[in-house]
Amino acid sequence: MGEFLSLLFLLGVVGAVVGAATNYMAIKMLFRPYKPIYFKKWRLPLTPGLIPKRREDLAIQLGKTVSDYLLTPETIKKKFLSEDIRANILSFVRQKATQEVFTEDKTIHDWIKLTGFNNVPMMVENKVDGIIASQFESVKNTLSTKTIREMLPSDIEPVLDRKIEEAVEQILQKGEDYFLSPEGSMTIKNMLDDFLSSKGSLGGMIQMFLGDSSTLVEKVQRELVKFLQAPGTAALLNRIFSTEWEKIKNRPAMDFMNDINFDTIEDSIKSYAKRELKIEARLDKTINDYWPNGKQWATDEMLPKVVNKLFIAAEEKIEDVLKRLNLAEVVREQVDSFPIAKLEELVLGIISKELKLITWLGGIIGGLVGIIQAVIVFMTN
């Protein structure tokens, strides 16, 4: 009986040790050794470990699993493009628009400063001054180098040419009306008196034969009116005015502006522009000041439409994006480049308790096998 118990104990212990050691080695050989071991030219069997040896196949299968079953377009649409997510995003952007954009705490100037631009009022005023100065130089250059004919629009010049004839008619009519008026008569009389008095005795002789200046006024008036009404007078004035107008058109416009102080005009325009623009005062206002209904329009109309369009575009493009990302290849590369030691630490850290149970289970089964063998040996002997 003592021999049986000794045999039973010995084989049970040996079986338990062998079973536990076998399971422990099997677990370790999942990862170790990390690299193949060679004896001279021959690689030792079971090196490297199972996972290092099949890591490439594991990476490929994981990549296919992720792309085909985990991160599919349907899964992403369901998880990330659902109505709840859409409502949450819309609520978030509405809140941010209210707090950050349509706020009374930030002026237009503050928004511009966020982009890195400082002293914007001065920059704008200097820019305006530069534009005005540049335009003035351009105007002065044009006036100095171009004739009036070149500056006149092609449809305006014929109109002005026709106006000469109308101006001549107006001048002759006004002259006739003036000389026939009492004021015109008085002017003619004064001129005759001055003329006769300036001629001395000759003037006296003329007055003796023709009478005093009063009797001559009517004669002079008639002759002046005849002269003004004569066709030749109108033709003469038309010819004179047309000739002078042609000379004027052929001269640079600056010839008629020598007395104009352009610097004073330029300074006045610059001052007027700054005064009317009021850049600093305008920039010190908020978006709400310029757009009172902007907040309501943005939150009720614009943002829902924008979010909806973004989600629709995302749903339409998600499949193409996943194809471009090539998730299977990305996962394969990441797994393939992941350190085996880190992978071992990660896996063992998760299932260490279960692996210990497997080791103990191996010992228990080995022990039971040893006990059974001891019983069989005892009975056969």
| Higher per-residue confidence, 40 vs 278 | 278
Please say whether the dihedral angle defined by the alpha carbons of residues 355, 356, 362 and 364, taken in this order, is positive or negative.
negative
Closest CA to 24 of 348, 254, 255: 348
| Higher per-residue confidence, 44 vs 320 | 320
Give the pLDDT score at 215: 63
Look up residue 46 and give its two tokens: 């079971």
Does the structure show a pLDDT above 50 at 209? no
Does the structure show a pLDDT above 80 at 213? no
Does the structure show a pLDDT above 60 at 14? yes
Does the structure show a pLDDT above 80 at 55? no
Percent of the chain with pLDDT over 90: 4
Helices marked H in the chain — which ranges? 2-28, 50-53, 55-65, 73-80, 83-96, 108-114, 120-145, 148-151, 157-180, 182-198, 201-210, 213-229, 231-249, 262-277, 279-283, 287-290, 294-297, 303-325, 327-337, 340-380
Q: How confident is the model at residue 92 (pLDDT cuts 50, 70, 90)?
A: very high
Does the structure show a pLDDT above 50 at 203? no
| Higher per-residue confidence, 133 vs 374 | 133
| Mean pLDDT computed over 223-238 | 85
Q: Model-level pTM?
A: 0.51
130-153 pLDDT, tens digit per residue, is 998 898 888 888 878 888 888 888
Helix (H, G, I), strand (E, B) or coil at 335: helix
d(CA 192, CA 279): 67
d(CA 334, CA 327): 10
Q: Mean of the per-residue pLDDT values for the chain?
A: 81
| DSSP-assigned letter for residue 147 | B
Does the structure show a pLDDT above 80 at 199? no
Give the pLDDT score at 245: 86
302-335 pLDDT, tens digit per residue, is 999 999 999 888 888 888 888 888 888 888 888 7
Closest CA to 335 of 323, 347, 349, 324: 347
| Higher per-residue confidence, 307 vs 53 | 307
